[in-house]
Amino acid sequence: MERFYKLAVYADMLDTNPTITTYGTEWEALDAAHDAIEHMTQWEVDHSPYLITEEERDQITERNSLLVKIFNGMTFGNEEWSQLQEGKV
């Protein structure tokens, strides 16, 4: 049995079709989640017409972290995992 982790990145709190990416290890999923949060935060800071303080940036990061979820604990056999990685499932 193989364990994998799904990372769901939502555009906003009402998004019903998040971007879902599958990772083989928890570390990869956590790293990708951190990158997604940082990317969303930096985009918002870059496109703001106002100067953003560190406190405001922290608040934006906290808000964006609510849009990223990791689902884990799903197990598959080796054959199913291979098919999933190849996109056949």
Query: What's the pLDDT score for residue 72?
Result: 82
- Residue 76 φ then ψ, to 5°: -140, 160
Helix (H, G, I), strand (E, B) or coil at 24: coil
The correct CATH number of 2-86 out of 3.30.2260, 3.30.1490, 3.40.50, 1.20.1050 is 3.30.2260
- The per-residue pLDDT for range 15-59, each reduced to its tens digit, is 999 999 999 999 999 999 999 999 999 999 999 999 999 999 999
Angle at 35 between CA 54 and CA 23, to 5 degrees: 155
39/43 Cα distance (integer angstroms): 6
Tell me which of 53 and 76 has the higher pLDDT.
Answer: 53
Residue boundaries of the structural domains of the chain: 2-86
Whether the pLDDT of residue 81 is over 70: the answer is no
